Structure 1
Amino acid sequence: MCESVETDLYAVLGASPSESVQQLRRRYQQLALKFHPDRLKGQSSTEAESNKRNFLEVDAAWRILSDQNSRMQYDLHKRAQELKQDWPVDSTVNLEDMMWDCDQCVYTSCCRCGGGFSLTEEEVMEETQSGQEDVEEKNPDKGDRGLVVCCDTCSLSVYVMWSEHTQTQNCSVKKGQ
Structure 2
Amino acid sequence: MCDTAETDLYAVLGASPSDSLQQLRHRYQQLALQYHPDRLGGQCSSEAESGVKKFLEVDAAWRVLGDQNSRKQYDLQRRAQELKQDWPVDSTVYLEDMTWDQDGCVYTYSCRCGGGFNVSSAEVEEETQTRHQDDEEEETCRGVVVCCDTCSLSVCVTWSLHRKTQTWCQ
**Higher gyration radius (CA):** 1
2:41 matched to 1:79?
Answer: no
Match in the other structure for 2:25: 25
Secondary structure of 1:39's match? Answer: coil
2:12–2:58: 8 Å Cα contact kept in structure 1?
A: yes
Gaps of 5+ in 1: 91-122, 124-148, 157-177
Q: Aligned-residue CA RMSD in angstroms?
A: 2.9
Gaps of 5+ in 2: 91-134, 136-141, 144-153, 157-170
TM-score, normalised with respect to structure 2:
0.53
Specify which structure has the higher proportion of helix.
1
Count of paired positions: 101
Q: Deviations over 1:129-148 (max 9, x none)?
A: xxxxxxxxxxxxxxxxxxxx
Match in the other structure for 1:169: none
Cα gap change, 1:73 to 1:44, in 2 (>3 Å): same
Match in the other structure for 1:61: 61
Report the Cα distance in structure 2 between the residues aligned to 1:43 and 1:4, rounded to whole angstroms. Answer: 29
User: Structure 1 stretches (4+) deviating beyond 6 angstroms?
Assistant: none
Match in the other structure for 2:14: 14
**Displacement after TM superposition at 1:9 (Å):** 0.4
TM-score, normalised with respect to structure 1:
0.51
**Displacement after TM superposition at 1:87 (Å):** 3.2
Match in the other structure for 1:3: 3
Identity among equivalent positions (%) equals: 73
Report the Cα distance in structure 2 between the residues aligned to 1:155 and 1:10, rounded to whole angstroms. Answer: 28
Report the Cα distance in structure 1 between the residues aligned to 2:32 and 2:155, rounded to whole angstroms. Answer: 46
